[in-house]
Amino acid sequence: MTSDMEQHPGTKTSEVTGLRPDAQVRPYAPGDESEITSMLNASFADKWGSQELWRWKHSGRPGFEPEDVMVISIQGRMGASFHSAILPIRLEEGLEVPMCVEGDFAILQEFRSMGLALPAHDLASRRLLASGVILRGGFTSLELNAKFYHRQFGYIFAPTISTDFRKILGLGPLEDKVRRLGDRLLGVRRIRNALRGEAFCVDLTIDGLPPCHLEVTDQAVTLRPGCALRPDVHLTFPYLLLAAARSGGPLRFARALVLQGLTGRIRVGGWVGSANRWGQLAVRLVRGQ
């Protein structure tokens, strides 16, 4: 599938987008990081950040496509950048739709009277509609939405429940969370006693994360990278189950657990061979031994 954005990097698109004749618009290309981050740092009141931060946030994320970052040049000088990502948004239980989440919208001061924003927004809309994406949004304040986004694009401000967002692309942040959770669990005498002298290994497949496995003893619960050599069981589940466990409370986690189990996204394999050990562990937990 092609779109108006999938053109040669030097192709003029003013006749398509309504941009001025000397404007060129194209997707991101390797090597653009320096100019893009310089423009972001010049456009934001507080310095935006480094090239390493940009790669982590944009080109290094799963599912990144060059068309997710659009740059506009005037007479060969980059003057604007528009960043986006197509991600699933859950409108209600069982209803997820793709949404274009946008951010890092920057236009250099000297280019701000050239009418770049609206044509760039409309150009992206063509690609999104062709891909079946009908929702667009981002994170902003009520004041900035009224001043810019609603006036320019017609966006409606929707208050969020939380503005505390974290992105986990690797196992590093998760390893520490698992360790701390293990410390709390093993702080319960009944659990620690039940695990005494035992060592369980669980192979994990979590969508969006590298292969890993869980080692459980009466001393620690440890998440390690890579597949285990001799796992007692293999567990597959979606990442959103972790998100529900972290921030949703017991009820939301239970609902997510049931829903994902019914849809077949939670799978347990290899448990038959170690069923006796798991049964003995369950008995010890019940007895408090």
CA 227/CA 234 separation, integer angstroms = 10
Q: What is the arrangement of strands in the sheet containing 23-27, beginning at the earlier edge strand?
A: 23-27, 69-74, 77-92, 95-107, 135-138
- Look up residue 123 and give its two tokens: 């150009």
pLDDT computed for residue 12 by the predictor: 42
CA 9/CA 7 separation, integer angstroms = 6
Pairing of strands 199-206, 233-237: parallel
Domain 172-287 has CATH 3.30.1050: yes
Determine the distance from the C-alpha atom of residue 10 to the mean position of all C-alpha atoms in its chain, rounded to a whole number: 31
Determine the distance from the C-alpha atom of residue 93 to the mean position of all C-alpha atoms in its chain, rounded to a whole number: 19
- Quickly tell me which residue has 């986004």 as its tokens: 149
pLDDT computed for residue 164 by the predictor: 52
pTM above 0.75, yes or no: no
Assigned CATH for 14-153: 3.40.630.30
CA 74/CA 78 separation, integer angstroms = 6
CA 282/CA 262 separation, integer angstroms = 24
- Look up residue 118 and give its two tokens: 């609206």
pLDDT computed for residue 3 by the predictor: 34
Q: Which amino acid is present at 159?
A: P
Separation of first and last alpha carbons in the chain: 62
Mean pLDDT by 10 residues, the chain (289 residues): 35 51 85 92 85 87 87 87 86 80 87 79 80 80 76 73 54 81 88 89 84 92 90 86 66 79 86 83 80
- Quickly tell me which residue has 């799963």 as its tokens: 62
pLDDT computed for residue 170 by the predictor: 67
**Taking the domains of the chain in order of start, what are their residue ranges?**
14-153, 172-287
Of 64, 108, 104, 82, nearest to 17 (Cα)?
A: 82
Contact 205, 234 (CB under 8 A): yes
pLDDT computed for residue 16 by the predictor: 44
- Look up residue 197 and give its two tokens: 């002298």
Q: Which amino acid is present at 21?
A: P
pLDDT computed for residue 6 by the predictor: 36
